Amino acid sequence: MTCFELDTNRRPEAFRIHRLRRLPGVELWSIKDATSRCILSDAFTACLVLGGIDRALGTCFLRGERSFGAGDVMLTEPGEIQQISSAPEPVALFMMRWETSVLQRVANELGATGPLRFKEPMLEPGPHSEAMARLNTLLTDGAEADVVEAAYVEATARIVERALRSDAGPRARATHAGVRRVIERLRTDFDGTEPLDEFAKEARLSKFHFARCFRQATGVAPLRYRKLLRLLAAKRRLEGGMTVVQTAEESGFADASHLNRAFREWLGVTPWAWGSAWRASDPWPTSRPQTIAPPAI
């Protein structure tokens, strides 16, 4: 099991990331004193809000605006935005992150017959949040890897079982077809420079109606969504060993200084610090090469 910890420029916020050799495709994040985050996910994630019994710790965007409290678990699928604002004090979060194939395999083993979907974007406190809290405690206490792995298996099963429940609520309302077309285009061509007017024309909507529909669907403006796609691509390239200059060139940023500024705004650390810490903590240094391709969403 490997781990690295980085302080962010939003002090006292810091995060610690664990990876286990026997669990490729899985990341376990502990985030301390978080105030605001806007993440476009390239994986399935479950984010537990840690704390006591306070049920009014902040607001978030998860397929729509909603509030969150201690014990809630925020769920996102690949391609979805998770946006968090804590109030009035910072919050502690614990996030489990799975590559799609990893969580789909678990779902199949538990009886799923089709692609795994999170029907609800947020789960109230229950056995799933208790299992995640136990896993976080074991990681914090430095437990042995096999003990952590057993707790991980339980927490993952709890989350997937809850996601597969037949009585889960409906998904968010359908996104406008024109907005969906633009989103799909951005995912494959995020290094373009088209203005908002061009996106609106492609969606066959007025500029203002398109911007409103896009924000309702994703939680952010179209140009912000494109920037988040670039940052995801940059993050994976850095993890694969690419230099900051090369990463900026291949991820749609004007130069290294623009990438540095955007990356610090996004994750709170420099791109060099992230890439260096990630590679130094690689539990598969010789057996599993890191990918540098844009994120598959």
198 and 246, same domain (yes or no): yes
The residue segments making up the domain with residue 231 are 177-280
3-state secondary structure the chain: CEEEEEECCCCCCEEEEEECCCCCCEEEEEEEEECEEEEECCCEEEEEECCCCCCCCEEEECCCEEEECCCCEEEECCCCEEEEEECCCCEEEEEEEECHHHHHHHHHHCCCCCCCCCCCCEECCCHHHHHHHHHHHHHHHCCCHHHHHHHHHHHHHHHHHHHCCCCCCCCCCCCCHHHHHHHHHHHHCCCCCCCHHHHHHHHCCCHHHHHHHHHHHHCCCHHHHHHHHHHHHHHHHHHCCCCHHHHHHHCCCCCHHHHHHHHHHHHCCCHHHHHHHHHHCCCCCCCCCCCCCCCCC
27 and 154, same domain (yes or no): yes
204 and 132, same domain (yes or no): no
Asked whether the beta carbons of 155 and 137 are under 8 A apart, the reply is: no
Distance CA 20, CA 27 (A): 8
149 and 33, same domain (yes or no): yes
80 and 196, same domain (yes or no): no
What digits encode the pLDDT tens for the residues 165-219?
755 454 555 688 999 999 998 988 888 888 889 999 999 999 999 999 999 999 9
Domain for residue 285, yes or no?
no
11 and 119, same domain (yes or no): yes
Distance CA 62, CA 272 (A): 30
130 and 206, same domain (yes or no): no
Find the CATH number of the domain harbouring 205: 1.10.10.60
> Does 291 score more than 50 pLDDT?
no
Asked whether the beta carbons of 253 and 261 are under 8 A apart, the reply is: no
pLDDT band per the 50, 70, 90 thresholds, residue 295: very low
Q: Where does residue 142 rank: exposed (0-12), middle (13-18), buried (19+ CB within 10 A)?
A: exposed
Domain for residue 156, yes or no?
yes
16 and 138, same domain (yes or no): yes
Distance CA 236, CA 241 (A): 9
The phi and psi torsions of 120 (rounded to 5 degrees) equal: -115, 140
36 and 156, same domain (yes or no): yes
245 and 267, same domain (yes or no): yes
Domain for residue 289, yes or no?
no
> Does 107 score more than 80 pLDDT?
yes
Query: What pLDDT, on the 0 to 100 scale, is given for residue 297?
Result: 37
Round the average pLDDT of the chain to a whole number and report it: 89
Query: What pLDDT, on the 0 to 100 scale, is given for residue 86?
Result: 78
Q: Domain boundary residue among 163, 192, 223? A: 163
> How many percent of the chain have pLDDT more than 90?
69
157 and 187, same domain (yes or no): no
Query: What pLDDT, on the 0 to 100 scale, is given for residue 182?
Result: 92
Name the CA radius of gyration of the chain, rounded: 19
Domain for residue 274, yes or no?
yes
Domain for residue 67, yes or no?
yes
Q: Domain boundary residue among 139, 163, 187? A: 163
141 and 248, same domain (yes or no): no
Find the CATH number of the domain harbouring 66: 2.60.120.10
pLDDT band per the 50, 70, 90 thresholds, residue 267: very high
Structure tokens at 152: 């991980």
Average pLDDT on 10-31 reads 94
Q: What's the total number of domains in the chain?
A: 2
Domain for residue 276, yes or no?
yes
Query: What pLDDT, on the 0 to 100 scale, is given for residue 110?
Result: 92
What digits encode the pLDDT tens for the residues 233-263?
999 999 999 999 999 999 999 999 999 999 9
Domain for residue 142, yes or no?
yes
Domain for residue 291, yes or no?
no
